[in-house]
Amino acid sequence: MFPWQTSTWQNLTASQQNKRLAHGLLFHGAAGIGKKAFAIEFAHWLICEQPLADKACGECKTCLLIQAGSHPDLHHLSPEEEGKAIKVDQVRGLIEKIALTGYGQRYRVIIVSPADALNINASNSLLKTLEEPPANTILILISDKPSKLMATIRSRTQMIRFDLPTEEQSLAWLNQQNIDNTELLLKLSAGAPLAALAMANDEGLQIRDKLFDNWQELAAGNADALESAAMWIKDGFKIINNLPLNWVSSWVVDMIRSLQGGHIKNMANLDYAQTLQNLAGQVDLKSIYGLQDRLNDTIRLADTAANQQMLIEGLLLHWAGLRRS
């Protein structure tokens, strides 16, 4: 587990030892802080025949099977295609499979990730399992957006909140990962250390540069909002969905700072400070506040939007229209 997860680990393992572990658990919290890695490790611990206090033994027959990726008591339920829904046939197939197989000494575990990808029929099918779980079966649901889950699913699980690690914890961990610019990366990942690492590995800084270039082109009237929105979704959102909206949010805050006479040194985007100051000089405070409202609506709707393209397009159009109006 990650260093910032020790107390969650202790609470959950203590619940199991006191025979108070709920059979449905919902791990929720920000993206990029290690919920899934924790779930997998906890599942191993639950299935292991001789678990230690802080991990599975790694040596028993069960552990060896898990390491080989073929343990019959550990199941993963995820969309067949990245970003798509978990379908009812997948849930039914899994439930049938479980009904047919015996289980080992300890538990059977099903990890559903991301649980908010369950469509309505899949949710209803899973609900039955949550209401009448087979013996010794633990369901671990993982979600960054628990409000998107069916209320009846939420009410039948124990919600386990994963907090954002402190900046100190995150930086200590990131500094051990052999990457540069850890402070900037962490800031740009909204404080989520695994997201920061993903940004480092997936050229996140270059992606941010690309979006910022486009943001400037839009302001100058040199880019089309429609094409830009498609590019933002395809290239910008690939590391962590919607994260670039947080970046825009910090650009807007820096522009407001600049318009209010704040010093360039105090900007969050130090590498863009001069450009942001120039951009701010071309608009007035009132319209920037209008943009900020629009952006907040966009962030709120982004996780639930039926049409992400339209939503992002609307935001970019608003920004592009700001300077010329």
Where on the chain is the footprint of Zn ion (CB under 5 A)?
Answer: 48, 56-57, 60, 63
State the minimum distance, in angstroms, from the CB of residue 49 to Zn ion. Answer: 5
Question: Which two structure tokens, joined as six digits, stand for 18?
Answer: 């006191």
Angstrom distance (rounded) from CA 131 to CA 148: 20
Helix (H) or strand (E) holding 139: strand 137-143
**In this complex, which beta carbon is closest to Zn ion, that of residue 63 or of residue 255?**
63
Dihedral over alpha carbons 187, 188, 190, 196 (to 10 degrees)? -90
**In this complex, which beta carbon is closest to Zn ion, that of residue 67 or of residue 166?**
67
CA quadruple 5, 11, 15, 18: dihedral sign = positive
CB atoms within 10 A of CB 16: 16
**In this complex, which beta carbon is closest to Zn ion, that of residue 67 or of residue 175?**
67
**In this complex, which beta carbon is closest to Zn ion, that of residue 48 or of residue 77?**
48
- The CA distances from residue 322 to 139, 208, 221, 291, in Å, are 49, 22, 10, 8
Helix (H) or strand (E) holding 285: helix 285-302
CB atoms within 10 A of CB 41: 18
State the minimum distance, in angstroms, from the CB of residue 52 to Zn ion. Answer: 9
**In this complex, which beta carbon is closest to Zn ion, that of residue 55 or of residue 323?**
55
Q: Which amino acid is at 144?
A: D
Going edge to edge, which strands form the sheet with 74-77?
Answer: 74-77, 108-112, 137-143, 24-29, 158-162
State the minimum distance, in angstroms, from the CB of residue 71 to Zn ion. Answer: 10
**In this complex, which beta carbon is closest to Zn ion, that of residue 56 or of residue 130?**
56
State the minimum distance, in angstroms, from the CB of residue 40 to Zn ion. Answer: 14
State the minimum distance, in angstroms, from the CB of residue 47 to Zn ion. Answer: 8
State the minimum distance, in angstroms, from the CB of residue 59 to Zn ion. Answer: 6
**In this complex, which beta carbon is closest to Zn ion, that of residue 57 or of residue 159?**
57
State the minimum distance, in angstroms, from the CB of residue 58 to Zn ion. Answer: 6
Closest CA to 94 of 113, 114, 110, 71: 110
